Amino acid sequence: MAKTATVKDHYIVAIGASAGGLEAIHDFFDHMTDSSHLSFVIIQHLSSDYKSLLVELVSRHTHMQVSEAENETTIRKNCIYVIPNNKFISIRRNKLVLEDKNTSPGPNNAVDTFLYSLAMEKKDKAIAVILSGTGTDGTRGIDDIRENGGMVIVQDPQTAQFDGMPNSAINSGNADFVLPPGAMPDEINHYIRQPFYLPFRKFDEARLQEIFDLIHREAGHDFYYYKSPTLIRRLTRRLSLHHINQVDDYITLLKKDPEECRLLGKDFLIGVTRFFRDQAAFDYLRDHVLPGLLQEKENNDTLKIWICACSTGEEAYSIAILVDELLEQQPNRPEVKIFATDLEQASIDIASHGLYPLSVEKDIPPALLEKYFTCQEKHYCIIPRIRKQIVFAVHDVVKNPPFINNDLVSCRNMLIYMNPVLQQKVISVLLFSLRKNGCLFLGPSETSTVDKDSLAELHAKWKIYKKIKDTRLGSQYLAGMTEHRQPESGKVSWTEAGKKPRQLWDAFKEVLTDELNIAAFYIDPQFEIRETIGNYEKILALPKKLLRLNLLRMVPADLYFVLSSGIKKAWQEDKKTTLNNLRYKKDGQLVSWQVVIQPMQPYTLIVITETMAAETGTGGHLPLPPEQHNAYTLQLEAELMETRSALQQAFGDQEAINEELQSTNEELLSGNEELQSSNEELQSLNEELHTLNTEHQLKIKELVELNNDLNNYFRSTDIAQVFLDRNLSIRKFNTASVRVINLIEADIGRPIAHISNNIRHENFLDDIEQVLQKDDMVEKEVELNNGLHVLMRIMPYLTRDNQKTGVIISFIDITALTHLNNIIRSVLNSNPSAILAFGSVRDGQGDIIDFTLQMANHAAAVFLDKSAAESVGLSLKKNIPLLAHGGLFEQYAAVVQSGQSLQTDVHFDSGSSWYGMGVVRMQDGFVSTFTDITEKKLTEEKIKNNYTELVSVKDTLKKANEQLENKVQERTRALAASEERFRLVARATNDALWDWDFINNTVWWGEAFYKMFGYEKPAQRTERSFWLEKIHPDDREAVNESLDEVINSRKNQWTREYRFLKQSGQYAHILDRGYVLHDESGTPYRMLGSMFDITTMKNAEQRVASNIAQRKFLAESMPLIVWTVDPRGQVDFANKQFETYTGRHYREALGNNWQAFIHREDLSTLRERWASALEDKKDFALEVRVCNAAGEYQWNLFRAKVRKDKDGRLLNLVITITDIHHQKVMNEVLENRVAERTKELENINNALEISNNDLQQFASVASHDLQEPLRKIQLFSGIIRDRFINELSETPRQYLEKIMMSSARMKVLITDILSFSRLSASDSSFEPTNLKQIIDETLDDFEIVIKEKSAAIVIDDLPVIDAIPGQMRQIFQNLLSNALKFSQPGTRPRIVIRGCRIAHKSFDAPEQAEGAWCRITVQDNGIGFDEQFSVTIFNLFQRLHSKDKYEGSGIGLAITKKIIDKHSGLITARSEEGRGATFIIVLPARHLS
């Protein structure tokens, strides 16, 4: 049941508070965490004179947006709206509506106003929260909220700073919860999540009765006849308030909690009333009903009105006012007595106070309000005159006796809560309470169940009736009163009488009561009348003031005492007592009563019979028995009379005093009320003061802070400031100002004029005066006596509302500034150049349109022919056009825009002068300097010319010089380098250096020589022969010759290779290079050289040469094209075959040219593979088409191998290209053929499969359908045989036998065919199958035959093989069946079954223990068969014998064969006629899939 509904709705929470509410509001929002579906409106009673700080204060306590409500604001979720001061707030169409508050100082009812509109707008989505505050505001509003189904939470008065508003709200009984503010958010969230409206459940009638019983017991209210739906609605509401879902739970709660019973009862009795509710109805009453009633009344008559179910009294007062209004217009002044009754004590209490909240003013016409109410700050109070006309009493119209003889009875909107039975009853009571021609006033929605005979309708819509016939409140009424209850002991009930007897009884009673004037009463020990019978109204009189149905007070005063003592006597004696002939005067007639008093439990029955007494002339009141006619008796009588009259007198006095006391009491009460209302006035005043105080304190705090700030600022600033008031007296000054004006602390309040100052400015006071007069500000630079310069500023002192209340004088020290200024001015003026500062003038778009001169120095004044002072402020364009011409203006603008300074020479048209102009940006403007440079310009010209000449001469010289120098340097450098080089080389090289001096013919050898060849280094230069001798004899001559040749031919380079003997005896290959040096005359005089051992190189060269030769040979000898590719991917070698194949020179393959030979379609793939082979160093092979010598593209296998060095680096690719064209073409042809063939086979296969399926289907269906008729043939022929065999003669009997045999055979045939066809369809799976076990099982089936024929069966151990067990069984069934069937007549059949593993799939394969195949032989000694049939016996329907001899369908072996085939095995049979047969089966041991 627990529904945790998601909240989709928008709930609005109205928070009403006044004094002391701030704290509660903070507490509330501190706890409001989840507010996503809520909006809040805070209505606080605010002073209209002060700006409220509530928005800021609340903001600190919530995450939500807090704003002051504005008119027509749409209420958004998760926001808080605060009522502005001086406004009324209400809500309409989800918008806040503000209205001006009337300024009457009446009590604030802003909360009521808003709650009323909120209740109308949001109904059950409205939540009212009443927080601390004085007064009663909100109390009426929550009534509206509750009435419309909303929720009301009131602050616990104990937590409230001011408990007026919470208490008032709680006392109204409308609070759903009374909580401290912190606990409210939880309850609100709970409420919106647990929707108020529970699904409308049908309450069990019994449960309802139980609840009514509880309420009746606890609260005394009786709801048995109230309309259930209304009650259930209220009940549901209470359930949801307690978060209870089950009625039973609630009943448990009710049992535990009497208070809850009381509250529920109160909820049931919800009172909805208003002044002049349904104005039109009241208009009708005033215009058409009441005048008639009043006219009948004389001055001393009483107009009696009964307002039944008056609730809080509004209606009673409304009618009282109407009557009063009407009475004023007519001469008669009857007394007006209004009884207003209600079941609820609380309502009666409210009604009798006669105090109503201010909001009632919208219900009451202003004139009436003025006239009949006094406004008491927070309430309207009904005037005492009207109040006194009304008696308010607690009265249950159902239980208590009615008031009688009323002129008008009003009972509005009570009947609608009752069920028809009760309505009927109440109507009859109301009717009874009316006098004839009296009027009944019901609510507009009451269903009329009125008795048309006794009532005439005056107004249909407003349900106003006139009583036209007397009615009686007979036993029916009394019966109704008791009907539903257990009759209490001793209480007489008339209900036992049946319907008809009752009528008779009624008639009898009527006669009795009417004619004999008998009335009976039941009274309780307090003389209260509990029930009546008969026309008691004729006998009794209603008491005047106190509405208690005390019998003694209702009997004529004369009889009071007698009756009282009589009753007491009867009680004392506890027996029936009769009082006879009690006389009294009624309307001038002597009336006699006979009273019978019968004490009973718990009530006492009193029967009064009234008769007209005969005038006895004695004037006495008591009957005088004849036997007492004597003087003594008379005397006693007289005494008694006297005593009685004295007693009566005393009684009268007593009553008068009593009444006086009562009226005094009422006066006291009203005095008390007045005191209370003035107390409330005081409280509301106090509340506003409190609010104000809070706000003031905050303001003061702010002010103190501000003051501190100001003081500190004052203290810290250097700017001297003095505040003067309007009279120019000192108000305030700071320390800095003491330097300027000689102020001391005591000067405050003294006029400024009295105080000496240090200002060298005699007009100081005038200036102040001027500021005060004219509002202007005065600003001046003044000098102080101590030489300081200050800027003096005098300003008016303005208040917030712009009132001038004094002046402020401030002095700012500008000495430093002035000083600086003077320096700058001097610097400027001492400068011979003209210096001008300009400010920009801009148009609307910000473009510069002009400049104004801001400053100019003396030189500038001369330059412009104007005095400096005069020039300031001039327009550049207008006044100094000279400086703006010739594009200068644009240049200035550019400088200002860009900030880049400008330095240029300018020439003005007017003269021949040249000026050096410098322009520098300065803020928004620029500074320009103009320096006369005319002479400099001229001199410059001259110098320039001279300089040009000089430069050209200089250039010529320079060139010559340079050439010389270069030469010298070159030489020097060459020499130095050569020297240096030699030295370095000699030291660093491994080569053997030598220096041959031709003149001495000696040679110097470098260190390396000895190292290289292993000779000892001699002490000095060696002879040349030392070297020559070591040269290989074969080379020596040639070397010598070549040397001579070089030297003689005057060449200087010599190179020779030769073999040179090493010390080790080996010859080294030497590369010797020499350089011949010649002297100036060209004679060679010296030779320098180096020997280089190239033995290793030589050897390597030789090896390489042989290698290459070998490879080349290989490459050339192959019938393949071979290329090699360097690591960059370029072909660097192509063999002869390439030339042969392509008919082109091998060079055409080198680099990337080879691509021309590859078919275009294959090229891109090849290139990719090529590149990736280089990248990844991976071999590849590809078939490509290569163009051959005939220009045809042939398929070639292009294979690339990667060669890598030992570090994995790519050395080269070797590519071979093989012609595979022929193979490829052949291949394709073959493949095509294979594909075609495959296709054909597939087609055939498919066809076969389909046909096979068809066949199987056919066989299966055919055998199924064939079986059916066959079975019938068997069945019925069987029946014929079994039942009618005796009726048949021999021949039909034989035929019948034949039929049966044929059909039996056919059955076998069909079964066999079916199982044969089923073989192919079978999807049984292969599993390890024990053949021995299978055969053993099969033999069980042949048990009878074996016994019959005494057959011997020998079975070897047979292997376990992968097979389909069922099919294996079938094989042996067939074979064994055949073996038994075809036995030799007269011979014991002997069947031998053997099995062994064999090496391969063949009948004659040798045995092998672990062979993959298995051979099983089934051998018998039967009739055998001709070997020529050894193949055909496995065909379908192949039979070798007639059916008569051996039965069988000829399918068995076919099935066997088929199973063997399916197991990929072999089967054959070997036999000779008459020699038995042997069946050999070969099966794989493991399943071949």
Partner 1 sequence: MMKKKILLADDDADDRNIFEQILLEKTDVELLATVENGLEVIDYLKVVPDRQHLPDLIILDHNMPRMNGKQTLGYLKSNERYLHIPVVIYSTYSDNKLVDECTSLGASMVASKPAGYKEYREMINLFLKIIAV
Say how many C-beta atoms besides its own lie within 10 A of residue 1342's C-beta. Answer: 19
DSSP code of residue 1428: G
When binding is defined by CB under 8 A, the residue of 1271, 1388, 1400, 1486 that contacts partner 1 is 1271
- d(C-alpha 1186, C-alpha 1184), whole Å: 6
When binding is defined by CB under 8 A, the residue of 78, 94, 493, 1267 that contacts partner 1 is 1267
Taking contact as CB under 8 A, which single stretch among the options 623-631, 1023-1031, 1270-1278, 1381-1389 is the one that binds partner 1? 1270-1278
**Three-state secondary structure along 219-286?**
HCCCCCCECHHHHHHHHHHHHHHCCCCCHHHHHHHHHHCHHHHHHHHHHHCCCCCCCCCCHHHHHHHH
Which CB, 854 or 1317, lies closer to partner 1?
1317
H helix runs in 1322-1353, sequence order: 1331-1341, 1343-1349
- d(C-alpha 1008, C-alpha 988), whole Å: 10
How near is the Cβ of 1436 to partner 1 at its closest, in Å?
Answer: 21
Which residues between 1317 and 1346 bind partner 1 (CB under 8 A)?
1318
The token duo for 329 is: 């217009």
Supply the DSSP string of 134-147, one letter for each residue: SS-TTHHHHHHHHH
Residue 615 in the binding site for partner 1 (CB under 8 A)? no
Burial grade of 1391 (CB within 10 A; 0-12, 13-18, 19 or more): buried
544: left (phi over 0), alpha (psi -120 to 50) or beta: alpha
DSSP code of residue 483: T
- d(C-alpha 1480, C-alpha 1487), whole Å: 19
The token duo for 4 is: 């945790």
The token duo for 726 is: 């309007």
Taking contact as CB under 8 A, which single stretch among the options 461-469, 894-902, 937-945, 1264-1272 is the one that binds partner 1? 1264-1272
Contact of 915 with 932, CB cutoff 8 Å: yes
Contact of 108 with 684, CB cutoff 8 Å: yes
Residue 1264 in the binding site for partner 1 (CB under 8 A)? yes
Which CB, 792 or 1319, lies closer to partner 1?
1319
Which CB, 772 or 1368, lies closer to partner 1?
1368
Taking contact as CB under 8 A, which single stretch among the options 818-826, 965-973, 984-992, 1273-1281 is the one that binds partner 1? 1273-1281
Q: What is the separation, in whole angstroms, between the first and last Cα of the chain?
A: 66
The alpha carbon of 328 is separated from its chain's Cα centroid by a whole number of angstroms, namely 69
> Count residues contacting partner 1 (CB under 8 A)?
16
How near is the Cβ of 1302 to partner 1 at its closest, in Å?
Answer: 13
How near is the Cβ of 1267 to partner 1 at its closest, in Å?
Answer: 5
Q: Mask: binding to partner 1, 1274-1293, rule CB under 8 A, as x and -?
A: xxx-xx--x-----------
How near is the Cβ of 253 to partner 1 at its closest, in Å?
Answer: 44
How near is the Cβ of 1271 to partner 1 at its closest, in Å?
Answer: 5
Taking contact as CB under 8 A, which single stretch among the options 444-452, 619-627, 1162-1170, 1268-1276 is the one that binds partner 1? 1268-1276
Dihedral sign for Cα atoms in the order 1167, 1172, 1173, 1174:
positive
The token duo for 834 is: 């003209």
DSSP code of residue 516: S
Which CB, 984 or 1275, lies closer to partner 1?
1275
When binding is defined by CB under 8 A, the residue of 1094, 1314, 1345, 1440 that contacts partner 1 is 1314
How near is the Cβ of 1181 to partner 1 at its closest, in Å?
Answer: 57
Residues 6+ away with beta carbon under 8 Å from 245: 1, 2, 198, 239
- φ, ψ of residue 431 to 5 degrees: the values are -60, -45
Residue 1298 in the binding site for partner 1 (CB under 8 A)? no
Residues 6+ away with beta carbon under 8 Å from 647: 561
When binding is defined by CB under 8 A, the residue of 1272, 1298, 1388, 1400 that contacts partner 1 is 1272
Residue 312 in the binding site for partner 1 (CB under 8 A)? no
* Listed residue (10, 220, 248, 21) closest to 135, CA to CA: 21
Dihedral sign for Cα atoms in the order 860, 864, 869, 872:
negative
* Listed residue (405, 454, 445, 393) closest to 423, CA to CA: 445
Which CB, 827 or 1275, lies closer to partner 1?
1275
Which CB, 200 or 1284, lies closer to partner 1?
1284
Q: Which residues pair with 532 in a beta bridge?
A: 521
Q: Which residues pair with 522 in a beta bridge?
A: 531, 605
How far apart, in Å, are the Cα atoms of 1003 and each of 69, 319, 1022, 1048, 1083?
A: 122, 161, 5, 19, 18
Which CB, 636 or 1279, lies closer to partner 1?
1279
Which CB, 519 or 1270, lies closer to partner 1?
1270
Looking at this protein, which amino acid is placed at residue 432? F
Helix, strand counts (H, E) of the chain = 43, 53
How near is the Cβ of 1301 to partner 1 at its closest, in Å?
Answer: 13
Which CB, 161 or 1263, lies closer to partner 1?
1263
Taking contact as CB under 8 A, which single stretch among the options 485-493, 504-512, 1260-1268, 1331-1339 is the one that binds partner 1? 1260-1268
Taking contact as CB under 8 A, which single stretch among the options 46-54, 323-331, 505-513, 1259-1267 is the one that binds partner 1? 1259-1267
DSSP code of residue 932: E
Say how many C-beta atoms besides its own lie within 10 A of residue 1180's C-beta. Answer: 18
How near is the Cβ of 1374 to partner 1 at its closest, in Å?
Answer: 19
Which CB, 852 or 1277, lies closer to partner 1?
1277
Which CB, 1199 or 1281, lies closer to partner 1?
1281
Which residues between 712 and 741 bind partner 1 (CB under 8 A)?
none
When binding is defined by CB under 8 A, the residue of 1268, 1287, 1343, 1404 that contacts partner 1 is 1268
Q: Mask: binding to partner 1, 1206-1245, rule CB under 8 A, as x and -?
A: ----------------------------------------
How near is the Cβ of 1303 to partner 1 at its closest, in Å?
Answer: 8
H helix runs in 927-1080, sequence order: 934-988, 1007-1013, 1025-1030, 1033-1048
Dihedral sign for Cα atoms in the order 271, 273, 278, 284:
positive
Taking contact as CB under 8 A, which single stretch among the options 770-778, 1116-1124, 1164-1172, 1262-1270 is the one that binds partner 1? 1262-1270
How near is the Cβ of 1379 to partner 1 at its closest, in Å?
Answer: 27
Looking at this protein, which amino acid is placed at residue 1020? Q
How near is the Cβ of 1238 to partner 1 at its closest, in Å?
Answer: 36
How near is the Cβ of 1461 to partner 1 at its closest, in Å?
Answer: 22
How near is the Cβ of 1465 to partner 1 at its closest, in Å?
Answer: 24
Taking contact as CB under 8 A, which single stretch among the options 288-296, 323-331, 1132-1140, 1265-1273 is the one that binds partner 1? 1265-1273
Which CB, 197 or 1284, lies closer to partner 1?
1284
- d(C-alpha 458, C-alpha 408), whole Å: 13
Taking contact as CB under 8 A, which single stretch among the options 15-23, 434-442, 1263-1271, 1285-1293 is the one that binds partner 1? 1263-1271
When binding is defined by CB under 8 A, the residue of 1307, 1390, 1401, 1462 that contacts partner 1 is 1307
How near is the Cβ of 121 to partner 1 at its closest, in Å?
Answer: 56
How near is the Cβ of 1341 to partner 1 at its closest, in Å?
Answer: 17
Supply the DSSP string of 821-870, one letter for each residue: HHHHHHHHHH-SSEEEEEEEEE-TTS-EEEEEEEEE-HHHHHHHTS-HHH
How near is the Cβ of 1358 to partner 1 at its closest, in Å?
Answer: 25
Binding residues vs partner 1 (CB under 8 A)? 1263-1264, 1267-1268, 1270-1272, 1274-1276, 1278-1279, 1282, 1307, 1314, 1318
